[in-house]
Each structure stands twice: as structure tokens, then as C-alpha cells.
């Protein structure tokens, strides 16, 4: 069991378990946390999982955990691991089951006071138009040919079908399309699960949330992004649904003999992986890209439904309610990027699992209009709590392979939260605070109660103090849509 005494404090909010802690470690394990968040991380197996991930072949610099770290499948959620392309591995568990789970932020010109009289009607329209819940079907059912276009085109497919604007894609990570997607790498079962789920929210911690901009910390940056005080904005948090889950499940299963074939020794079979440049590793990378593109298309179709919902409810009531896109970011992805490693520029495979890419100012790959600012980073809270808009920094480029946290991070398991919280009472409490809720299952709603998560403001303060993210704005919820 890892203890606080096993760490060396190397900066105010940065702790490290040295490589000498275990013989099989190939790199140190580093965590960003204050004392309280470190104690929380030590309460489950997440730090042990972080140390395990530091044993992977080809791991460079150090395995990293963000302050929202919690236990996941093999790798911790909130983890970042970069591996050399020449002799490193790629791991499905290092990406996660919900491939390209992410957050999109839309902003209206309307102010909260203008929209407040119509908030209940707006929440009902969003709940009706954006199907949510476990295994729910969307308004579209795709044939094989159309589904393969989604796999290779991502958000571009939605643009071609009239459900996106060109400026949406310009403000989406990778312009909404990951290259290298090959539908041949995707199983029939994954195709079947995804065929009718485009444009759906799903369940679990996924949500659509109407927020008001409650605070601006960096006025010029906020203005450049299109954020104003008291403005109504909308967050979408979801991913690749059953399609991505099945892709991960297929490769976790198929890689078990692959590990033995390549003679890779692992401390935990959930770290299952393949050499990056092997046929198996490249096949997973192609399938992962298909799932990532599915997720980009999914969030884009939801955006289309959300715009229609605003039109249904606010047309003729509010002068300007049109929603423009602030940005769309991925949480669960493996990407080939160039970073500085031991004084050299090196191409590596960066696994971000429950972590956000956070390119600093000037980095290639950012929209030209925002390149001098850095990448927008969206940190959602948990229904009743605040959310944040940040920017990537030079510090994130230097310290964390251009990565930062992805949310508050889970504190209680779903079963514990369900025992402590009654969904109906939670809905009443939120209503008392002026937050409109539309949710299908009250039991599932209770699993996502704010007390089940860490203090997102504390997590963001650690990120800002460590220099791996910069606060721009704080959002507060006024309506929540859940499965």
C-alpha cells in the first residue's frame, strides 16, 4: 500500500514516487495535488495504478496524475502516460472505455435574466430532443455505409449532413476528425451498438447543462473566446456511447495473448497493451480513431438538437439566443505528439485518460484565431457545483505533455452515493437553488450527486498554482439534463 511517506514533495503541489520505489518502475510517478487531494488519492488504488503505469515499456519522463485522480480500469482516471514510438506500447486501458469522452461549450448572446422565465420549458425541450439514458436510441439509424462515414469523418460528417457549422469544426479539437481511422478495425458488435446512438447523451456522469457565466478572471481572454458576464452557455459532456465501449472491450480481450506473444510483463493484466508499432498496436489506433470520430459526431448532432431546442422555446421571446461554439475537447484519447523529453524533441504516444490536452500559446494544432491564447480547457463540475473555462499554458507544455485535469474527480463510488442520496430529495435541493432538473432515473441521478465528487474549485486551484492551466471564467448551473 502506497503511503504519503513514499512521496517526495518536489514543489508546492507536486509530489513524486521515485523510480527506486519498485524494481519494475521504468520512470517516476508524479501527482499534482495539495495535501487534502493527495490524502483522497491514497484512499483507493489510484496511486498504485499510477505506479503500475510507470512500468510500461517505453514510458518516458514520468507517469503523471492530475488532482482529479481516482481509480479506473488498470490506469487511474486523471492519468497521463507518454510512451516512445520506437519501443513503447499503446494500451486500451490507458484511453478508457468511453473513447473521446469530452466536453463541448456553446455560448448564447442572451443573458441569464432574459432566459430565466423560459428555463423550465427550455429544459423540457432539451430533455425531449436529446435522448438520454442507458442504451437509448437517437433520432437517426445509420446504415453500414453511413456509419463508416461517421467513423472516418467525425464532426465533418455532421457538417455534410447539415447538422454543423464550419466554425463549429474550427473550434473542435483536431477539427473534429482524427486521422487514421479504419472501419475494418471495428467489430460487427461495435457497429451494431453504435448504429442508432448518434445524437444521444447516454447515462452515468454525462449531462447537458445550461449555465450562466458567474465570474470572469481574464477579461481579454474571455472576450476573445466569446464569453461575457451573466451570459447563458451550454455544456455537453458525453462520448462515443456503446460504440466506443465495445471497441475498448474488444481490444482489451484481444490484447491478452498479444502481451504474452511480445513477452511484455505487466504488474496488472488490466494494463494490457501492444507495441505501438506492431500490427496489433496500429490496428487498435485505427479503431480508437473510429470511436473518437463517432464521439465528435455525437456531440455535434447533440449541438444541432440543442440549437433546435433554443429555437423552439426562445424564438420571439429573446432577441438573440443563437449558440456559437466556444470549444470542444477530448478526455480519453491516445495521440502521437512531439514533446521535449530529456532535452530532445521526441515523438511520443500520449495517453490521456480522464485528462485534457492543454496546449500552450503558439502550439500548432490550435485554431489560428486562438493560437496566441493557448488551448481552451473545459472543466465541468457536478450538477450543483461550478465549472471552469481555462487555457493551456507554457507550464503544461513543459511539465505534463501539454495536459491538465478533466473535472472534479470521483470521491464516492456510485453504490456509496446511491446509499447516501435520494434522487428526489437531491432534485428538490437543486430546485431550491434555482437549478431546473430533467432526469429519467432518480436512482441514477443520485449516483452523480455533488457529494460524490471532489471540490472542483480545489482541483482547479491546484492546476492553476502548478502552472498547468490558467483560469478564464467560472460557470454556474441553472438547468441540468441527465439520463
**Using CA atoms, how far apart are residues 241 and 128, in angstroms rounded to an integer?**
19
| Closest alpha carbon to 332 in 15, 81, 60 | 81
Taking CA atoms, 446 is separated from 120, 173, 204, 414, 456, in Å, by 21, 32, 10, 8, 18
350 strand-pairing partners: 82, 335
- For 363, phi and psi rounded to 5 degrees? -70, 140
Q: What is the CA radius of gyration of the chain?
A: 21
Beta strands 63-70 and 29-32, pairing class: parallel
| Cα–Cα distance for residue pair 72/398, rounded to 1 Å | 26
Distance CA 13, CA 31 (A): 8
Nearest to 93 by CA among 260, 262, 284: 284
As annotated, the active-site residues are 406
For the chain, give the number of residues: 483
b/e map 313-345, b = 16+ CB within 10 Å: bbeeebeebebebbbbbbbbbbbebebeeeeee
Nearest to 79 by CA among 114, 53, 106, 43: 53
CA-wise closest residue to 351 among 96, 33, 21: 96
CB atoms within 10 A of CB 171: 24
CB 396 within 8 A of CB 348: no
Amino acid at each position: 500500500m502506497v503511503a504519503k511517506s513514499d512521496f517526495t514533495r518536489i514543489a508546492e503541489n507536486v509530489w513524486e514516487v521515485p523510480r527506486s520505489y519498485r524494481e519494475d518502475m521504468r520512470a517516476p510517478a508524479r501527482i499534482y495535488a495539495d495535501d487534502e487531494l493527495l490524502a483522497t488519492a491514497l484512499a483507493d488504488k489510484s496511486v498504485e495504478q499510477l505506479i503500475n503505469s510507470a512500468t510500461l515499456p517505453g514510458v518516458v519522463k514520468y507517469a503523471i496524475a492530475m488532482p482529479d485522480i481516482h481509480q479506473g480500469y488498470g490506469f487511474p482516471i486523471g492519468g497521463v502516460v507518454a510512451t516512445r514510438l520506437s519501443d513503447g506500447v499503446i494500451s486500451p486501458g490507458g484511453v478508457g472505455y468511453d473513447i473521446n469522452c469530452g466536453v463541448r461549450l456553446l455560448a448564447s448572446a442572451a443573458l441569464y435574466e432574459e432566459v430565466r422565465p423560459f428555463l423550465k420549458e427550455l429544459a423540457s425541450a432539451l430533455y425531449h430532443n436529446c435522448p438520454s439514458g442507458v442504451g437509448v436510441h437517437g433520432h437517426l439509424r445509420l446504415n453500414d455505409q453511413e456509419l463508416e462515414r461517421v467513423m472516418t469523418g467525425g464532426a465533418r460528417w455532421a457538417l455534410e449532413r447539415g447538422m454543423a457549422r464550419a466554425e463549429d469544426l474550427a473550434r473542435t479539437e483536431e477539427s473534429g476528425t482524427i486521422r487514421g481511422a479504419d472501419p475494418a478495425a471495428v467489430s460487427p458488435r461495435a457497429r451494431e451498438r453504435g448504429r442508432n446512438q448518434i445524437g444521444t447523451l447516454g447515462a452515468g456522469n454525462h449531462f447537458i447543462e445550461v449555465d450562466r457565466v458567474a465570474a470572469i478572471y481574464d477579461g481579454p481572454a474571455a472576450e476573445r473566446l466569446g464569453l461575457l458576464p451573466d451570459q447563458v452557455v451550454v455544456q455537453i459532456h458525453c462520448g462515443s456511447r456503446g460504440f466506443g465501449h465495445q471497441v475498448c472491450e474488444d481490444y482489451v480481450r484481444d490484447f491478452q495473448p498479444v502481451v504474452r506473444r511480445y513477452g511484455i510483463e505487466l504488474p496488472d493484466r488490466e494494463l494490457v497493451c501492444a507495441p505501438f508499432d506492431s500490427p496489433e498496436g496500429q490496428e487498435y489506433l485505427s479503431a480508437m480513431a473510429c470511436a473518437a470520430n463517432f464521439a465528435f459526431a455525437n456531440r455535434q448532432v447533440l449541438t444541432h438538437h440543442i440549437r433546435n431546442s433554443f429555437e423552439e422555446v426562445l424564438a420571439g421571446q429573446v432577441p438573440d439566443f443563437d449558440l456559437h461554439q466556444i470549444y470542444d475537447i477530448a478526455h480519453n484519447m491516445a495521440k502521437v505528439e512531439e514533446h521535449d523529453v530529456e532535452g530532445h524533441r521526441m515523438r511520443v504516444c500520449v495517453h490521456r485518460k480522464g485528462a485534457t490536452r492543454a496546449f500552450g500559446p503558439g502550439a500548432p494544432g490550435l485554431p489560428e484565431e486562438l493560437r496566441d491564447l493557448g488551448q481552451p480547457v473545459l472543466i465541468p463540475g457536478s450538477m450543483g457545483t461550478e465549472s471552469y473555462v481555462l487555457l493551456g499554458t507554457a507550464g503544461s507544455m513543459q511539465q505534463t505533455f501539454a495536459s491538465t485535469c478533466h473535472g472534479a474527480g470521483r470521491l464516492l463510488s456510485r453504490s456509496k452515493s446511491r446509499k447516501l442520496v435520494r434522487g428526489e430529495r437531491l432534485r428538490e435541493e437543486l430546485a431550491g437553488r434555482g437549478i431546473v432538473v430533467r432526469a429519467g432515473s432518480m436512482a441514477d441521478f443520485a449516483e452523480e450527486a455533488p457529494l460524490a465528487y471532489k471540490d472542483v474549485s480545489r482541483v482547479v486551484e491546484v492546476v492553476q498554482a502548478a502552472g498547468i492551466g490558467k483560469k478564464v471564467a467560472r460557470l454556474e448551473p441553472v438547468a441540468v439534463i441527465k439520463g
